[in-house]
A and B are shown apart, each in its own frame.
Chain A
Amino acid sequence: MNETTPIITKSFDVQAIRKDFPILDDLMPGGKRLTFLDTAASAQKPQVVIDAMSRVYGHEYANIHRGVYHLSQLATDHFEAARRKVQGFLGAKFDREIIFTRNATEAINLVATSWGHANLKAGDQIILSEMEHHANIVPWQLLRDQIGIELVVAPIDDDGVLILDAYQKCFTPKTKMVAMTHVSNALGTITPIADIIQTAHDHGALVLVDGSQAVPHMHVDVVALDADFYVFTGHKLYGPSGIGVLYGKEDLLNAMPPYQGGGEMIATVTFEKTTYADLPHKFEAGTPNIVGAIGLGAAIDYLDTIDRDAAHAHEMALLAYTVEQLTAMNDVRIYGTAPEKTGLVSFTIDAVHPHDVGTILDHDGIAVRAGHHCAQPVMDHFGVPATTRASFGLHSDFDDVDALVAGIKQVQEIFC
């Protein structure tokens, strides 16, 4: 699935892309060029996203699905247009299968809570991978503690690749759900999610895919994948923070009870009985992040203007160059060496803690993530408390990698 055939074309001009991101023109303290290598934590925003949100707040804002006046209709139209953009982006059949949430975390919590309580009982099993983000571990643990389900962990190997044989052996007649990442945030591993889903369906289990790290890097088609639930967050996709997406198959969502109660999600309310609104509003209680959703729609429009195959080829060239440079350095170790990866390198420098690495790199205007990346089981697998992670965005270029390499050399000079 999702094999983007890397076609080397000239149609991706990274220097032109860089002009779309106003923050890249800003200098960091000390007059340093910004080397932003933390897109996997949160992406910078292109001007078109900022403008779209500013336009709504400045000229087109009102609450949605409420007023009978012009502005409310306008805002509602833009909000629902954003939903259709997400639908198209994921290849979903219906726009009502797209639920706006705060982020991917809330989307997973929604499924764990609503679907989980309605469908699971003590002893039922859920399979997770060893490389899940905490967001795809803790909601299921909460459910485990509430109703006594069991969590089964599918292991990864030392390249950071899911061990498929072991995954297949995790299934029992009690397996009801597989909750699996599409791309590991700590390692960059792309999981064979189509096969993972097929195997789960063969065993009668549903699959929730955490696509937060995948959608910024590859084309995703939830229908082709046959994903039951697919979640992602807007801010990693060059959109604003505070907006996320839950895709769910219509019949599954229809059968699920509401997650939160309030306005928007109701049909009629009396003190005796409330009937619920239809999809997607049943799961969108209260005034949503109106402008956030519109900003996410603008981010999707922006991505549509980019030759994503060419962007992918550029990203893979950057990754190969980074791995080559870091591998050639003494005392630098890379974690996550899967053959199928996104543009992300997690590494350590012997005898130097990642936080010291992060501080020294920051001094040169280089932004990286240092820590456990909300994936402590991955850190435990490799026996390290933390790593330094450099991750690429659309605007990343070879100068960014050269700056990183020079920064690592400086770390080693200070610490040797």
Chain B
Amino acid sequence: MSDLRELYQEVILDHGKNPRNFGPLPEANRQAHGHNPLCGDKITLRLVVKDGVVEDLSFEGAGCAISVASTSLMTGALKGQTEADARALFEDFHGMLTSADPTPDQLEALDKLAVFSGVRDYPLRVKCATLGWHTLNAALDESDEMVVTE
């Protein structure tokens, strides 16, 4: 139960239940779709990118608590960031979940996103936590292909 609480921290449960930046974004100029066929999670991510800065973003879709909360917290972290910073944050986030222990610098950069570090212990759930982020990369790349994680 205790380490389950480490995975399902209050902030994850909260964002899973009440995702922020959730809904349509008519003025968006970038968009991508993400799909995890294993569990059926599907999201659409929309961005307003002007002069290399992510001015606004939102998402819609359905998924597990981990994927919804991760996408929700991602949208909060990226608002106002440059495209380059957004991509760098993706690398830090992905690294936290998949590679060796993250450095203190990385954890600091991740800030609130470090709440997902517990997902590292659940390799089958890493795809859930990164679905929104892979979709972000596709949106920044202006790729029309649906992002599929499995």
Contact = CB atoms under 8 A, between A and B. Distances in A.
B13 A355 contact: no
Contacts of A355: 39, 64, 66, 125, 128
Contacts of B41: 353, 385
A323 interface: no
Contacts of B125: 355, 359
Nearest to B40: A385
A415 to B, nearest CB: 7
B4 interface: yes
B64 A353 contact: yes
Contacts of B8: 356, 360, 414-415
A352 B40 contact: no
A359 B39 contact: no
Contact of B4 (A354, A371, A414): A414
A360 B5 CA distance: 10
B13 A370 contact: no
B50 interface: no
B13 A415 contact: yes
Contacts of B4: 360, 363, 414
Interface string B118-146: 00001011001000000000000000000
B102 interface: no
Interface residues of B, number: 22
B7 A371 contact: no
Among B3, B8, B39, B122, residue most surrounded by chain A Cβ atoms (within 10 Å) = B39
B100 interface: no
B63 A351 contact: no
Interface in A339-390: 351-356, 359-360, 363, 370-372, 376, 379, 385-386
A410 B64 contact: no
A414 B40 contact: no
A386 B13 contact: no
B40 A379 contact: yes
Contacts of B40: 371-372, 376, 379, 385-386
Nearest to B1: A410
B17 interface: yes
B121 to A, nearest CB: 10
B62 A385 contact: yes
Given A356-B65, A360-B4, 20 more contacts: A351-B17, A353-B63, A353-B65, A355-B39, A355-B66, A355-B128, A356-B64, A359-B124, A363-B1, A370-B39, A371-B38, A371-B39, A376-B40, A385-B41, A385-B42, A410-B1, A414-B4, A414-B5, A415-B8, A415-B13
8 contacts: A352-B65, A353-B39, A353-B64, A355-B66, A360-B4, A371-B38, A372-B40, A379-B40
Give the 3 A-B CB pairs with smallest separation, nearest first.
A385-B40, A353-B64, A355-B64
